[in-house]
Structure 1
C-alpha cells in the first residue's frame, strides 16, 4: 500500500543522555537525564526513506541500534560525530559520559498522515482537559515531521545546573525522579514530553507546577531556581504561592539557587539532603 502510494517517511532516532552509572556487582545501571529526537540526515539535510528501506531495517538486513553521538549536548542540540557505539567504547572513549548520546530506539513517521489515525494511551489524569492537552502536546513532539536537521527535546532536565545537582545527588546514592507534574488534587505524574513547556498546558485549572526533581518517599519537590527567571519580586511571589499550594496538597518543597549550584555544588546538595 505504501509502495503504491509512494509514501515517504522520516527515520527518527531517540537519543538518551546518561548522567551516571550505578554499579552494584552486576552490569552498570545507566541513569538518563534527557531523551532527544533526531531525524536521519544526509549532507546537512533531513533524509527521507521509502517503505522498502524500512522493511529491510525491520528484517534485520540493514541498519542497527548500535549507534551513538559523541559530544552530544541535549540542552543546545549540538553534537560532534555519529557512529558505532561498540566501536567508540572498544577503542576507548575518553570524553565525558554525559556528552555521549546513545541511540536507544527508532521509529518512522510518514510525511503526510491523518492525525485521527494516531492511537494514544491515556496518561492517567482525572481531568479530561489535561488528557486532551497531553495527547495534543505529545503528538506535536512525536509526529510532526522535521523540516531541518535539529534536536527536539522530548524529556529530561532543562539546564546544565540541574544536571550538575542531579549528578551530585546520584553520586551520593540518591535517585530522585526528574520532571514531575503536580496537580491540586494531591496527585503527581511524570512530566513526559516536556509538558510544562507548553504554555496552554500551564493554564489549565488543577495544574500547580513541575518540579525539577522529586523524592516520592519523602514527598519532597526540589526546584533549581536560576537568576534569570526567579530573582524578581514578582517571580519570588509566584514561587511562594506554588510552595503554599504544594504544601496544601501534602508535599514539601526546597528551592536551590542556580548560582549556589555553580559556586558550591557540595553545599547545594547538602541543602537537599538536609531537607530529606
Structure 2
C-alpha cells in the first residue's frame, strides 16, 4: 500500500474520531456558564485552588499578571492586590526566599499590597485565605 494512502487514512480517521468526541462530550449549558478560561492560566494546583475559592465568591483575579519583570500568581490590578501562592517545592530554598523578598519590595514600591499564602495554609484553611483576600479588597 502506498504511504500517501496510509497517511490519508490515518488523517481522516483522526478527524472523524475528533468530531465524534466533540459531539459526544459537548458541555451542558450549566458547564458552559461555569467555565472560567483564566483558571487554566494558573500554574500550580494551589493557585487553581485559591482561584476557584475566589470565583465562588464572585471575585475574578488575573492569573500570572505581569508587573515589571515579575509575574504575580493571582492579581487584582484595579486594587493593586497581589496574591502569591507559595508551594514548598519552589519557595523554601534560601535563594528563592531572597527572590520572593526582592519581588515583594519591587511590588510594594509600585503601590501593590502583597499577600503570601503557603500551600499548607491554602489546603487547610481556604475559607480563611479567601476571607483575608476579601478584607484586603475592601
| TM-score normalised over the length of structure 1 | 0.37
1:146-179 Cα deviation digits (max 9, x unpaired): xxxxxxxxx7111111111101100001011111
CA distance in 2, matches of 1:249, 1:217: 13
1:212 is displaced (CA, Å) by 1.0
Q: How does 1:146-225 map to 2 (within 5 A)?
A: 156-183=41-68, 207=69, 209-225=70-86
CA distance in 2, matches of 1:233, 1:273: 30
Partner of 1:87: 24
Superposition RMSD in Å: 2.9
1:272 is displaced (CA, Å) by 1.6
Task: Give the number of the structure whose residues are more often helix, by fraction.
Answer: 2
1:253 is displaced (CA, Å) by 1.2
1:50-80 Cα deviation digits (max 9, x unpaired): xxxxxxxxxxxx87xx96xxxxxxxxxxxxx
**Which of the residues 239, 245, 268 maps onto 2:129?**
268
CA distance in 2, matches of 1:275, 1:233: 28
Q: How does 1:118-129 map to 2 (within 5 A)?
A: none
For the residue of structure 2 that corresponds to 1:175, the secondary structure is coil
For the residue of structure 1 that corresponds to 2:78, the secondary structure is coil
1:266 is displaced (CA, Å) by 1.1
Gaps (5+ residues) in structure 2? 1-9
Partner of 1:70: none
1:227 aligns with 2:112: no
Q: How does 1:1-276 map to 2 (within 5 A)?
A: 83-84=21-22, 86-89=23-26, 156-183=41-68, 207=69, 209-276=70-137
Gaps (5+ residues) in structure 1? 1-41, 50-61, 68-81, 102-154, 184-206
1:89 is displaced (CA, Å) by 4.7
